[in-house]
Structure 1
Amino acid sequence: MVSTTEFKGEYSLPSKNSPLNQFEGVKTHLYRLGAEHENGTLKSFAYADQGSPSLLDTIILSQWEDFAWKGHLGYDVTACNLKVIEGGWSFVVQLNNKWNSCVLKDYDKFLGPVGCLKPNCMNSYDELLLCIAQGDKDIPEVVPSTKPPKDGLLLIANACPVEYGHILLVPSVTNQLSFFWDKRMFSLVARIASEVNSAAFRVFFDNCTSTMPHRTFFQACYFANPLPVESASTVAIYDGKATSGVCLYEIVDYPMKSLAFTGNDVNTLANFVGEVSLTLHDNNTAYSLLVSNNGTKVKNLATGSCLSAWECCGYFVYRAKYDFDRASEIEISNRIASVTLQDSAFENLKSLCCAIADDLVM
């Protein structure tokens, strides 16, 4: 079990306005990933045999379950009513009258103006489950009760979960100073997804420029079944296996215009996704990302407005039973289609992605 406690008086405190002052007095367990091998190829070294849970998967779930057992969750998400909507897309809807979509509201102590951990008057940081950072040893290691490094990801339990094991992955201060994540951040996220080594584990990122322009964090949940967008057909539009190492696909027969990126080299994929994301961000284009397949597949769900990443993927939460009972494939597909990119903008996105992929060299 990981305990996260503020230890007063153990460290000297710099100026209270210093951006590097976020971690003073806070301790948690640290999971250091194993060193990258074979030119960044994604490999998981932290499970005993095929089919067994990895060490990181076990730690994350045990910490989240301990957080739930202590009564910190707003509700038992496993008891919420779920149903699959009849139709070709098999949208999933959840009935949850306690769901609060304002995730940031309850996490101000972790998300400052640039998303850094921010101390508050409390002595306990129960939501802080773990910190993950890149290591330099051949195998992963767990460092007990230590000060989080400035280049890691904080794993924070979401007290209003969308699904089982819902966590926020918040970059620490070093990765936040530029106001936006880059290839290093995505590389770390992809390594985490690989190390968890669970088909149920999915990571989401929302770039909603109109509502949270300077707040960078990822979210992750465990889903028992594939999300609707993951079952949609794809058409290859770029095969760079022999050159860039990245392959691009257009997702077809789905209400939202979307692209899928795959690659076995974490650094190349991180380079590519980082460049695409930064370009969209600079152009004030709202979009979402879904990281799946143990970090080797990324879906770019391009939108002109705000929907959460899981809604773009076909998973919706309803607070009212009336709306839950009346949910239909037509209603949901219309909601998704209403915020997708126009044809010309999507064609520009495809051209942009192909051009960026052409510039990559393995």
Structure 2
Amino acid sequence: MVSATEFKGEYSFSSKNSSVDQSEGVKTHLYHIGAEHENDTHKSFVYADQGSPSLLDTIILSQWEDFAWKGHLGYDVTACNLKVIEGGWNFVVQLNDKWNSCFLKENDKLLGLVECSKPNYMNSYDELLLCIAQGDKDIPEVVPSTTPPKDGLLLIANAYPVEYGHIFLVPSATNQLSFFRDKKMFSLITRIASEVNSEAFRVFFDSCTSTMPDHMFFQACYFANSLPVESASAVVIYDGKAASGIRVYEIIDYPMKALVFTGNDVNMLASVVSEVSLTLHDNNAAHCLLISNNGTKVFLFPQVKNLATGCCLSAWECGGYFVYRTEFDFDRASETEISNRMASVTLQDGAFENLKKMCCAVADDHVSKLGQESN
């Protein structure tokens, strides 16, 4: 049975269970982001009026809510108990006894969904909500029920969400091996955050948990309020001046060491951060990324594995949002306990100073190239 979801304006298509055709493979809806022009910062053409939800924001939430309405979620995340820990950082904790951080690895669900973009793949997945790719027209284009392009990002619902609208953003199978070396793919991620145009929308990347036999993925969900790290104090350690708008900050007075990259040009920002992430990846250095502020701000959380558990924190934990599975742990959660967890994975001073120098050098290299191109 097909249910219809209507969108205001010229776009409308059905919310569906991905259809299967032996000759063409699995199909899903495709959102083409509007083209960029040389020397022009990306501008979105999808807002009906100031303050209205963007087209992409509406599509993502409508598809995710349809997935939830059909009963595919493991629980109602909006019914989970939340509280703010009193203290200097206002950490947020959630009680969720059904949350399963290992769901993907245990079920190989993600791997199957990535494979579905290959021709002649015969399975059908309700989790596959949408595909997003770069378009060549000035305005976004929605193509209902089509084969995902090889350079697209698959948006896949997480049946065990941490927050509302929790999705995975996964490069299609043909892009997996070159993911880290493809800055265009990272740029597409930041463009999506910009195109969604919602202050609640955050994108996450965990180098420790986002690798499953050569498969890389981002996650995203909606948070009603700012994450604690977003309110933390920061000092500028690199200023690329007005020509680029790129700045690098160091977070201060926070339990774990972190850097923040900002910029008005999301492509330039993505290029800087992707090179930093690639360098860390090549050196087997664990790290997390948090993309916020409509794609114009990226937090970098370098980590070492906890000696006691052998684990790293997730990106939302680095941001100050923790999920507890038992009421006992939820009730005893404190600023001291959470701060100690963060401190157990943070870099030592010397390693962090080296990271700061590397990040500033990468940013300066990109800004210098921009200056040479403009002369």
TM norm. shorter chain > 0.5 = yes
State whether structure 2 residue 178 is matched by structure 1 residue 157: no
**Structure 2 counterpart of 1:89:** 89
**Within 5 Å, which residues of 2 pair with 1:1-362?**
1-11=14-24, 25-37=25-37, 39=39, 41-105=41-105, 108-111=108-111, 116-117=115-116, 123-178=123-178, 180=180, 182-208=182-208, 212=212, 214-242=214-242, 244-305=244-305, 306-360=312-366, 361-362=369-370
Q: What is the deviation of 1:184? A: 1.0
Which 10-residue stretch deviates more, 86-95 or 43-52?
Answer: 43-52
Q: What is the deviation of 1:78? A: 0.1
Cα 1:235/1:206, change in 2 over 3 Å: same
Contact 1:175 1:181 in 2 (8 A): no
TM-score (norm 1): 0.91
**Structure 2 counterpart of 1:16:** none
Partner secondary structure for residue 311 of structure 1: helix
Once superposed, what is the RMSD of the aligned Cα atoms? 2.1
- Amino acid across the alignment from 1:60: I
Q: What is the deviation of 1:193? A: 0.5
- Amino acid across the alignment from 1:92: V
Partner secondary structure for residue 110 of structure 2: coil
- Amino acid across the alignment from 1:126: D
Cα 1:325/1:345, change in 2 over 3 Å: same
1:244-275 Cα deviation digits (max 9, x unpaired): 54110001010110000011112211211111
Cα 1:103/1:44, change in 2 over 3 Å: farther
Which 10-residue stretch deviates more, 1-10 or 351-360?
Answer: 1-10
| Counterpart-to-counterpart distance in 2, 1:213 and 1:255 | 32
Contact 1:261 1:298 in 2 (8 A): yes
Partner secondary structure for residue 341 of structure 2: helix
TM-score (norm 2): 0.88
Q: What is the deviation of 1:46? A: 0.8
Cα 1:43/1:116, change in 2 over 3 Å: farther
Partner secondary structure for residue 59 of structure 1: helix
1:220-263 Cα deviation digits (max 9, x unpaired): 01000000100000100010024554110001010110000011
| Counterpart-to-counterpart distance in 2, 1:123 and 1:320 | 36
Structure 1 unaligned spans of 5+: 12-24
Which 10-residue stretch deviates more, 144-153 or 211-220?
Answer: 211-220
Q: What is the deviation of 1:36? A: 1.3
| Counterpart-to-counterpart distance in 2, 1:40 and 1:190 | 16
Q: What is the deviation of 1:47? A: 1.1
Which 10-residue stretch deviates more, 243-252 or 61-70?
Answer: 243-252
Contact 2:210 2:218 in 1 (8 A): no
Which 10-residue stretch deviates more, 351-360 or 33-42?
Answer: 33-42
Q: What is the deviation of 1:289? A: 0.3
Contact 2:256 2:342 in 1 (8 A): yes
| Counterpart-to-counterpart distance in 1, 2:78 and 2:285 | 34
| Counterpart-to-counterpart distance in 1, 2:240 and 2:151 | 31
Contact 1:4 1:27 in 2 (8 A): no
How many pairs were matched up? 348
| Counterpart-to-counterpart distance in 1, 2:229 and 2:158 | 24
Cα 1:139/1:351, change in 2 over 3 Å: same
Contact 1:209 1:285 in 2 (8 A): no
Structure 2 unaligned spans of 5+: 1-13, 306-311, 371-375
| Counterpart-to-counterpart distance in 1, 2:209 and 2:18 | 34
Q: What is the deviation of 1:209? A: 7.5
Contact 2:22 2:122 in 1 (8 A): no
Partner secondary structure for residue 294 of structure 1: coil
Contact 2:26 2:116 in 1 (8 A): no
Contact 2:262 2:296 in 1 (8 A): yes
Cα 1:43/1:103, change in 2 over 3 Å: farther
Query: Percent identity between the aligned chains?
Result: 77
| Counterpart-to-counterpart distance in 1, 2:192 and 2:117 | 24
Contact 1:31 1:131 in 2 (8 A): yes
| Counterpart-to-counterpart distance in 1, 2:272 and 2:129 | 30
- Amino acid across the alignment from 1:307: L
